[in-house]
A and B are shown apart, each in its own frame.
Chain A
Amino acid sequence: MEKPSWASDDLDIERPSPARVYDYYLGGSHNFVVDRRMARQAIDLWPELPLIMQANRAFLRRSVRYLVRQGITQFLDIGSGIPTEGNVHEVAQAASPQSRVVYVDIDPVAVAHSRAMLPGNSRADIIQADLRDVAAIFNDPRTRRLLDLGQPIGVLMVAMLHFVPDEADPASIIARYRKMMVPGSYLVVSHATHEGSPDQAGPHTELYRRAGAPLIMRSRLEVEALFDGFDLVSPGVVFLPLWRPDSPADVDDHPERFAAFAAVGRRE
């Protein structure tokens, strides 16, 4: 398969990686000079970025806990990135110790690091794969060992799909995942949008494009369209902090500042 530009898997640490940039936004040091340089440029353009990333991470945590409450104990986290506080397996296993997680990332450094962090956990593993290589992901022996595909699973595509351009047809990619998910499974998505912060969105997109990881902002309608074949869970497609907040105090006065939509869908 031809390598998409947004999923560069070479080992050129002279180029920023979305996974390590994200780690920097979250206050981590699992990053290289190029990653930090790019992250700082992005923050200069858009000072709220760390907050947005935190909100994204918080949505991940809330959605995983929601799924566990719905009885989901198997997770496939696509684009899992660099492990950090509140990893999916930590959140899920805290809520239900039997929870099993398969992480997937295309960044070989993120995968190598994740693997170093996971050896003690027999219920979580990581595989290096392209998001689009659905068959390889589901046929991987680690996936087969950890996930029972006869039972519902939770597929997480958090801060992932805005790296998939329209030419790669994200809807058809999701459709291929959907075919592998039995009814009662869930799809979790957060996705960057220009709606609410049009001023910053343009330059930010340009920055990622120049960095070799183009970022595609999508509208609410476009994000909704990704859930074809799924029933959107209330409250539907909303700005990040508005998706089932832990408490009203956690909700910012201007949720649109977070420039990203969050949504969870249930396989019909």
Chain B
Amino acid sequence: MTHVDHEEFAWRWAEAIVGTSYVPIERRVLASRLLGLTHQLVEAALAVEFDPSVGRQVGVDMVAAHFTGTETLRETLALIAEELPGLLDSAPPGVDAAGRVAQLVASMAAGYAGALRERSLDEQDAIYRAGLRARRQAEQALAASEAKFRAMFTEAAIGIAIADLEGNITDANSAMQRMFGYTYDEFTQLNILSAMVHPEDAASVWETYEELIRGKRDHFRMEKRYYRSDGGEIWTHLSVSLVRDEAGAPAYQVALLEDISERRRLQNKLEYQAYHDPLTALANRQMVTERLGQIFAGPAGHRRVGLCFLDLDGFKVVNDSLGHDAGDQLLKTVASRLTRCCSAGQLVARMGGDEFVIVVEDTAGAADMAALADKVLAAMAEPIRVGDHELNVTTSIGVVELAVADTNPEDLLQAADITMYRAKRDGKARYVMYDRNRNEREVARFTLSATMLAAVERGEFFLEYQPLVGLADRVLRGVEALVRWRHPTFGVLGPERFIDLAAESGSIVQLGRWVLARACEQARAWHDAFGAAAPFVSVNLAPRQLHEPALVDDVAKILLDNRLDPSSLQLELTEQALMGDEAGPLTVLTKLHDLGVRIALDDFGTGYWNLPDLRRLPITELKLAGSFAVGLQSPSPLADQRIVAALVDVAHALGLTVTAEGIETPTQLERFRAVGCDTGQGALFAPPGAAEEIDALLRAASPLCDVSGESL
């Protein structure tokens, strides 16, 4: 009964205080705890010996259980004052239950207040101590971080300086002090705007600095020069940061400086080496390329540029006879003389060996360059002393002066180079002005020479044939094969345009083999079509070909390939081909002769050979030079006629046949025939033409140029 009342009381107590304090327990658990307290209060109220301090303990217990809300106390005391007496029906007589409850309430209030006060003080104490600990830890962390920063600042290998916004240096680490040679105290007396300025600073340096100070930028970095305290110069990589205050306004600046003087020196040295000739200290080819690149980089406008290309005459002789040291000494002297000839803007360079170049920007015309070349020649006229020798050194100079718009660096250099070679050919010790037309011819020559072999492969060459006609019967005996080049750019070129080039470059061997093969193919075709009436083909041999021992085998193979009788082929060579002391050409010629091939000595009468010498030559025919035909055409041809008659007689005596070249008129024809000349060749019969034109002649099978009916 009582027990149920107690539970009822405890449940209502719980209802009253739930939510007034935060106690992390369920209402059921709360009610059961309050039931315990209820038992204690009831027991105390009913006790024989009344002890009001039980109330105090209940108050303390409530606080300990975290019932700390002020409302908790009000609700609790109200409930106890009003409802607890209802649980005290069993109070012994004489006990003042209401009075005891009042005392318990008072005691509980005191206990609760005391415990709450203690608890609050404890918690306040704890939180203040936590606050202090946290602050101490933060300070320690800050101190540690400051110590770390300070150590970093002091020990850094990089220079660090701090300055205010006016530029007053407020701190500088030891690396900074070493770099500049100032002590800390000296540094802190310095202002950036006076002590840290270098006269070579670009204007942008201090504009950038101003932007930083005014807060328009937070950072900049650059390479910058400074003076040390001892006046020496250092190059640094500078990095400056602006530090702002909490409001974001500029507060001070921190500069990091790395000494890059060494790196800079090395870099300069490497750069110098890359652009200079170590012997003469002049600029080198690389520098010329760079300078020309700069000149041609901008808009051409009306700007002009000049270039002298110099080559010492006979330098190799100096080197070979006096030694390389003497040669080097000579080059150094030449270099210094050239430098003296030039003004500030003109670039003198050694291109290599004994070649020098002078580049002149913004020339007014060719006269400028001519004057410069004259000056150089004059400077070189003075003998150069090398050791014990006085050397007279001359130089050949190619001079080019052009509008920038009309050329480019490569062409300019090449033109000057080619022009210099002309100065050499013209006799050295001079300058030659560049001539665009001549230069183009030289370039064309070079182009032809360089592309000839490929042109043979591509089939750009072809043959024309000119008849060789019996003078007595006007019957076609043979044809001379003449090579032509159908050049894609220059059109059809005659042999005079390329044979010498082919001989120089050696292409003549391949080209000559091709001509032989092609001519023999054609000879075969005529044999097939016309049998015994087919003409022999006469092919020109260059002197160089006679130096090729393989020629004999080549000829034999080509004849065999075309199933040709050797007598169907005639090889023409000039007197020059047999000049010289070497036995090789003659041996080759003899072998060809032994094969049965006809051998004609071309252009006879213009050169070296005289008649008695013909005896020892393995030849079968003489071709008289065109000059004889010219002589026979004159109104008083008697002398010439006698000479030709004598030549023909001697040739016949040696068993040689004679062909007259350059027959253009019936008169010439008749006169050659009259002295016994066997065959003739010339425009009178036919100019060189395609194989088909020979076909037509053969098909007609009639005498060529039948002039028998004409009066002479």
- The stretch of A104-112, A216-224, A231-239 that contacts the partner chain: A104-112
- B:615-646 near A, CB below 8 Å: none
Given A53-B22, A85-B22, A85-B23, A109 and B127 touching (CB < 8 A)?
yes
A85: contacting residue among B66, B120, B133, B135, CB under 8 A:
B66
A192 nearest CB across to chain B (Å)? 18
Prevailing SS type, chain B contact patch: helix
A30: Cβ under 8 A from any B Cβ: yes
B27: contacting residue among A28, A116, A250, CB under 8 A:
A250
| Complex Cα–Cα for A13 and B119 (A) | 21
- A:99-124 near B, CB below 8 Å: 108-113, 116
Whether B24 and A30, one on each chain, are in contact in the complex, defined by CB atoms closer than 8 angstroms, is no
- A:1-20 near B, CB below 8 Å: 11, 13, 20
Whether B123 and A116, one on each chain, are in contact in the complex, defined by CB atoms closer than 8 angstroms, is no
Which A residues touch B19, using CB under 8 A? 51, 54
Given A108-B137, A247-B26, A27 and B21 touching (CB < 8 A)?
yes
Given A85-B22, A108-B138, A112-B133, A247 and B28 touching (CB < 8 A)?
yes
Whether B27 and A247, one on each chain, are in contact in the complex, defined by CB atoms closer than 8 angstroms, is yes
A61: Cβ under 8 A from any B Cβ: yes
Whether B66 and A27, one on each chain, are in contact in the complex, defined by CB atoms closer than 8 angstroms, is yes
B69: Cβ under 8 A from any A Cβ: yes
Given A54-B19, A58-B24, A27 and B68 touching (CB < 8 A)?
yes
B24: contacting residue among A32, A85, A110, A113, CB under 8 A:
A85
Binary contact readout A73-94 vs B (1 if CB under 8 angstroms, 0 otherwise): 0000000001011100001000
Binary contact readout A40-60 vs B (1 if CB under 8 angstroms, 0 otherwise): 000000000011011001100
B99: Cβ under 8 A from any A Cβ: no
| Complex Cα–Cα for A32 and B19 (A) | 24
| Complex Cα–Cα for A85 and B64 (A) | 10
| Complex Cα–Cα for A11 and B21 (A) | 29
Whether A13 and B131, one on each chain, are in contact in the complex, defined by CB atoms closer than 8 angstroms, is yes
Binary contact readout B115-142 vs A (1 if CB under 8 angstroms, 0 otherwise): 0000111011011011101110110000
Whether B134 and A54, one on each chain, are in contact in the complex, defined by CB atoms closer than 8 angstroms, is no
Whether B24 and A112, one on each chain, are in contact in the complex, defined by CB atoms closer than 8 angstroms, is no
| Complex Cα–Cα for A111 and B126 (A) | 12
Which of A11, A32, A58, A110 counts the most B-chain CB atoms under 10 A from its CB?
A: A11
| Complex Cα–Cα for A116 and B126 (A) | 9
A11: contacting residue among B26, B68, B131, CB under 8 A:
B131
Whether A112 and B131, one on each chain, are in contact in the complex, defined by CB atoms closer than 8 angstroms, is yes
| Complex Cα–Cα for A250 and B28 (A) | 10
Given A108-B137, A112-B134, A113-B130, A29 and B119 touching (CB < 8 A)?
yes
| Complex Cα–Cα for A113 and B131 (A) | 8
A31: Cβ under 8 A from any B Cβ: yes
- B:61-93 near A, CB below 8 Å: 66, 68-69
| Complex Cα–Cα for A112 and B132 (A) | 9
Prevailing SS type, chain A contact patch: helix
Which B residues touch A110, using CB under 8 A? 130
| Complex Cα–Cα for A113 and B130 (A) | 5
A91: contacting residue among B24, B123, B133, CB under 8 A:
B24
Whether B135 and A11, one on each chain, are in contact in the complex, defined by CB atoms closer than 8 angstroms, is yes
A110 nearest CB across to chain B (Å)? 8
Nearest-CB residue, chain A, relative to B131: A109
Binary contact readout B14-39 vs A (1 if CB under 8 angstroms, 0 otherwise): 00000101111011100000000000
Interface size class of A (residues with CB under 8 A): 20 to 34
Which A residues touch B133, using CB under 8 A? 112, 116
Nearest-CB residue, chain B, relative to A25: B22
Given A112-B131, A113-B130, A30 and B123 touching (CB < 8 A)?
yes
Which B residues touch A113, using CB under 8 A? 126-127, 130
Nearest-CB residue, chain A, relative to B27: A249
A26: Cβ under 8 A from any B Cβ: yes
A140: Cβ under 8 A from any B Cβ: no
| Complex Cα–Cα for A82 and B26 (A) | 22
Whether B124 and A29, one on each chain, are in contact in the complex, defined by CB atoms closer than 8 angstroms, is yes
B134: contacting residue among A26, A31, A111, A246, CB under 8 A:
A111
| Complex Cα–Cα for A58 and B24 (A) | 6
Which A residues touch B22, using CB under 8 A? 26-27, 50, 53-54, 57, 84-85
Whether A28 and B130, one on each chain, are in contact in the complex, defined by CB atoms closer than 8 angstroms, is no
Which B residues touch A249, using CB under 8 A? 27
Given A28-B123, A29-B120, A85-B66, A11 and B134 touching (CB < 8 A)?
yes
Nearest-CB residue, chain A, relative to B119: A29
A9 nearest CB across to chain B (Å)? 9
Given A57-B22, A108-B134, A112-B137, A30 and B28 touching (CB < 8 A)?
no
A23 nearest CB across to chain B (Å)? 8
| Complex Cα–Cα for A29 and B123 (A) | 5
- B:167-215 near A, CB below 8 Å: none
B127: contacting residue among A27, A29, A54, A86, CB under 8 A:
A29
A136 nearest CB across to chain B (Å)? 15
Which A residues touch B120, using CB under 8 A? 29
| Complex Cα–Cα for A82 and B138 (A) | 19
Nearest-CB residue, chain A, relative to B129: A116
Which A residues touch B119, using CB under 8 A? 29
Which A residues touch B121, using CB under 8 A? 29
Which B residues touch A116, using CB under 8 A? 126, 129-130, 133
Nearest-CB residue, chain A, relative to B123: A29
Per CB-CB distance, the 3 closest pairs between chain A and chain B, nearest first, are A86-B24, A113-B130, A29-B123
Known: A11-B134, A20-B127, A27-B22. 12 other contacts (CB 8 A): A11-B135, A30-B126, A32-B131, A54-B19, A82-B127, A85-B23, A111-B134, A112-B130, A113-B127, A116-B126, A116-B133, A246-B28
| Chain A contact residues, CB within 8 Å of chain B | 11, 13, 20, 26-32, 50-51, 53-54, 57-58, 61, 82, 84-86, 91, 108-113, 116, 246-247, 249-250
**Can you list 25 A-B contacts with CB-CB less than 8 angstroms, sorted by A residue number?**
A11-B134, A11-B135, A11-B138, A29-B123, A29-B127, A30-B124, A30-B127, A32-B131, A50-B69, A61-B24, A84-B22, A85-B22, A85-B24, A85-B66, A86-B24, A108-B138, A109-B134, A110-B130, A111-B134, A112-B130, A112-B133, A246-B26, A247-B26, A247-B27, A247-B28
